[in-house]
């Protein structure tokens, strides 16, 4: 039996695949988690700065400005744009330098993948594990498995961790 022959890869095929990937990213980012917009809005209304540190694919930064969260995040840091990846400490340092805040006054809320909470703690931030109801069963969630520090299961609960 002969293996089925694949058609040759063309520039058009690559372009179509890239457009599909971009459409998928746009679809995902257009539907933020429950209460994410509300939580970020309340943080901004309280005069707090917000940042995003994301290990992401190269197609995310081009879609980001048109998402519902973009207007609520002062400083987005995309790994593919800065050539850094969590849990590299420099990733967190870059975020708080761009935000012009001190790390000891900063919360880092995340799902705990790729040891990001451990990295945030080592960088001097206060890490908070977000345990959403929609956790991906295939996500390794390295920190999530062993985390014993602050945890929230609803994003609005982050507001209870803010010192007024």
CATH number at residue 117: 3.40.50.1000
* Within-domain flag for 2: no
Number of structural domains (the chain) is 1
**Domain extent at residue 57:** 34-161
22 within some domain: no
Residue 76 lies in a domain: yes
pTM for this predicted structure: 0.83
Average pLDDT per block of 10 residues along the chain, 164 residues long: 72 85 84 92 96 92 94 97 95 95 90 91 95 66 81 94 78
Predicted local distance difference test score (pLDDT) of residue 97 = 94
- 18 inside domain: no
Q: Are strands 107-110 and 126-130 parallel, antiparallel or unpaired?
A: parallel
- Residue 112 has a pLDDT of 87
Is residue 21 included in any domain, yes or no? no
pLDDT tens-digit series, residues 126-135? 999 998 776 6
Going through the chain in order, the beta strands assigned E by DSSP cover 51-54, 75-78, 107-110, 126-130, 151-152
């Amino acid at each position: 039996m002969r293996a089925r022959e694949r058609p040759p890869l063309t520039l058009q095929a690559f372009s179509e695949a890239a457009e599909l990937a971009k459409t998928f990213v746009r679809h995902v980012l257009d539907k933020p988690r429950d209460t994410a917009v509300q939580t970020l809005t309340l943080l901004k209304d309280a005069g707090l700065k917000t940042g995003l540190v994301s290990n992401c694919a190269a197609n995310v930064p081009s879609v980001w400005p048109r998402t519902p969260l973009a207007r609520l995040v002062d400083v987005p840091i995309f790994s593919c744009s800065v050539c850094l990846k969590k849990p590299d400490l420099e990733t967190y340092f870059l975020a708080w330098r761009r935000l012009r805040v001190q790390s000891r006054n900063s919360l880092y809320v995340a799902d705990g993948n790729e040891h990001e909470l451990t990295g945030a703690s080592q960088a001097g931030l206060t890490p908070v594990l977000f345990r959403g109801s929609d956790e991906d069963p295939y996500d390794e969630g390295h920190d999530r498995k062993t985390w014993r520090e602050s945890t929230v299961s609803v994003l609005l609960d982050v507001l209870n961790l803010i010192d007024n």
